[in-house]
Amino acid sequence: MTRATEALSVLAVLSVLYVAGWFGYIPLPKTVFEEILPVLPWWALVTFGSYSLGNIGFHVMTFGDCPEAYHELMGVRLTWL
C-alpha cells in the first residue's frame, strides 16, 4: 500500500465517522454536537496548514549546501536582466 493510498484510506474513515456523527448515527452529547462538530473541519485545516508551514520552514532552514550547484548557477548568463 502506498503512502497516498494509506492517507486516503485514513481520510475516508475519518470523513465517514464525521458524517455519521453529524447526522446522528453515532450518539454524541449535545455539547459535542453543537460546539465541537461544526468547527472540527476548520480546526483540521488550520492544524494541517500549521504543520505544513512548520515542516517546509524546518527543511528550508536545514537545507544542505550544494557548492557545485552554486557554481553552476553562477556561470549561467541571465540575458533577460
Q: What count of other Cβ atoms lies within 10 Å of the Cβ of residue 22?
A: 14
Closest by CA to 37, choosing from 55, 19, 58, 54, is 19
**Residues contacting 40, CB < 8 A, separation 6+:** 18
On whether the pTM is more than 0.75, the answer is no
Q: What is the pLDDT of residues 25-79, one digit of tens each?
A: 999 999 999 999 999 999 999 999 999 999 999 888 877 777 777 777 778 766 6
Q: What is the pLDDT of residues 8-29, one digit of tens each?
A: 999 999 999 999 999 999 999 9
**Residue 4 DSSP SS3:** helix
The C-alpha atoms of residue 18 and residue 3 are separated, in whole angstroms, by 22
